[in-house]
Every structure is written in C-alpha cells, then in structure tokens.
Chain A
Amino acid sequence: MGWIEDTVTSVKSIQLRQALHQTISIGLIVTSALMIWKGLMCITGSESPIVVVLSESMEPGFARGDILFLRMSKEPIRAGEIVVYNINGRDIPIVHRVIKVHERKDTGEVDVLTKGDNNEEDDIGLYAPGQRWLQRKHIIGRAVGFLPHVGWATIIMTEKPLIKYILLGGLGLLVITSKD
C-alpha cells in the first residue's frame, strides 16, 4: 500500500505549490491595480483621478455611467470649467460647471459658483446650509477627458451588490481553478 501514500503525498505537495503560486498571482493582480491607481494620483494631482458620472444633471454632455478623467493642477479655476467638488456632510462628489468666479487680489483665493448644465437652478441649494460659494479646498479636480458608458459596470455593482459578489466569486474561482 506504500505507493498510495506516495501518490497522496505527491498530490498534496503539488497542491501546496499550486496554492502558493495562485496566492502570488492574485497578490500581483491586486498590487498592480493599486500601483496604477496611485500612479495616476501622482500624475494627475487629484485624489480621485477617475470618476463615474452618477446623475443626469450634466445631460446631454455627460450621461449616467460615463467616465471622467480629472486633473488638479495649480492653474486658477475659471468659469466654464467642469469641476468635481465635495461638500461637508455629503459623501458623494458632484460634477458641475463653474458659472461665476471671484478671485481675490491679495490672497488669490477664489469664490466659485457652480451649476449643472441640465439643472434650472444654480448649486447654492446643494451646498452646506449658509454656504454661498465654493472655495478651492472643496474642489478635488477638473474634468479634462471623457469616455462614454464605461462606468456602467461600477454603477451596476454599487446598486446591485449581489452581482458584485457573483462576479468576484466567479473571478476568484477562475484564478483558483486555472492551471496556468
């Protein structure tokens, strides 16, 4: 019965080696994704270089599910630019167009008013209570480029978490079962 034990140990050792191999390849995928994201952050200077449009407020320019590429350079903010901003007390950043700019002479600070192209009203109603202008600290980037529809996957996954788990599970299974 010695040969059975031998086979078992040899199979076990193969599985261990394979498992290690797979852990490393999963680790590689995760770390390279992280490196790309952080690298983009360095190049663009924005804390979130890519955003997905979630609302219809910029129709027909940007629709739900479109992807925007952001940059945050030292250049001053000017009317007409599309900026992404965060308001205290809101977790989702907003993508709207600047319609008014007042730039201080002494400090160079700006007061900015924004509005969605598809909205009737300007954004004062969206700002924090009592807030009338956006300052530079609220703005996390300006949109420089655009790719249509690519962000739909993210929207579907955030709205239907089940699909996300199925997809992640399937991918994990694929990585584990693949012999390569």
Chain B
Amino acid sequence: MHSFGYRANALLTFAITILALMCAMASVSDNFNSPSPTSQVQVLNINWFQKKPDGDDEVSLTLNISANLESLFTWNTKQVFVFLAAEYETPKNALNQVSLWDGIIPSKEHSKYWIHTTNKYRFIDQGSNLRGKNFNLTLHWHVMPKTGKMFSDKIVMSGFRLPESYR
C-alpha cells in the first residue's frame, strides 16, 4: 500500500493533472483578451504586369504595410503569424486568396511595424482575369499560443484595382 512504486505513481499522476489543468487555464484565459489591431496598406507601384507563356496573369506589386498588433499579445502568446493576401473573385473561381507577404512576430515589442516590400510570393491568377480587376487586401493573423487553442482573425481592406492593360 505504501510502497515506493505507489507513492511515485501517485505523485506523477498528481503532477500531470496539475500541469494539464494549468495548460487548460492558460488557454481559457486567452478568451478574456479582446484585441483591436489596426492596419493600413498602400500599393505604391505596379512593377510589371504580364501574361505568362502558359496563359496565367502575373503581377508584381510594391507594397507599404503598416500594422499595430500589440493588443493580440497575452501571456500565453508564443508568436503571431501575420500575412497579407490578395482576395478576389473570377468567373471561374468563387474565391481566390493569394498570399503576397507574410511574417512572424515573436514578441509584443515587434508587433507595431511598418514595412516597404515587393510581393514575397508570386501573384499569379488561375487564368487571365487580372486586367482591371478589383481586389481586397486582407491582413490575416494567426495567434500561436504557448499552449492550447489557436486564434485567428483578419482585417479586410477593399478598393484596390489592377490596371486595364499589361505593362
């Protein structure tokens, strides 16, 4: 009844239960945070715009992205993954999401930023629908916790338009 094995077992079970409980509480505590991030994006330049040999449109943009994501960070936040996606509709596709830029924000100190960049991933359509296309730029973020449930949300910025002709 009071052998070493039993005591070790009881201690281990208790320790694991407490640890699991603490992890669960840390994850639940994230729900009390109601974040209010802000973001602004400008398309500074269309660097080039063409139809690739296989028939798909491709465009290169220079972007200015600024965001304040400080309110996303809580004590259970390991990092925030943030990305900017172009989102639009074409006759064939109900939704196209093309990631243009992404970044990993490791801590609250880095979460208020301003970046000037060309698109990191190629902006290619499935087909040739980009001329004169209206599109949204959406800033998405995915909060990765130290433990527990992951959160995500987005800010949609609309009113962007690609030129009528290739250049």
- Residues of A that sit less than 8 Å from B by CB: 60-62, 78-82, 97, 99-105, 108, 111, 117, 122, 143-148
Query: Are A80 and B142 within 8 A (Cβ)?
Result: yes
- State the B residues within 8 Å of A (CB): 23, 27, 78-79, 81, 83, 85, 91-99, 102, 104, 106, 121, 126, 140, 142, 144-150, 152
Distance in Å: Cβ of B140 to nearest Cβ of chain A: 5
Known pairs A108-B94, A145-B148; list 17 more (Cβ under 8 Å). A60-B106, A62-B144, A78-B97, A79-B85, A80-B99, A99-B99, A100-B98, A100-B121, A101-B97, A105-B92, A105-B94, A144-B150, A145-B149, A145-B150, A146-B145, A146-B148, A148-B146
Q: Is B97 touching A147 in the complex (CB atoms < 8 A)?
A: no
Q: Report if A97-B81 is in contact (Cβ < 8 Å); known contacts: A60-B104, A61-B144.
A: yes
Alpha-carbon separation in the docked complex, A145 to B150 (Å): 6
Q: How far is the CA of A108 from the CA of B93 in the complex (A)?
A: 9
Asked if residues A105 and B93 are in contact (CB atoms below 8 Å), the reply is yes
A166 to chain B, nearest CB (A): 17
Our pick among B79, B93, B152 for the contact of A61 (Cβ within 8 Å) is B79
Is the CB–CB distance between A61 and B147 below 8 Å?
A: no
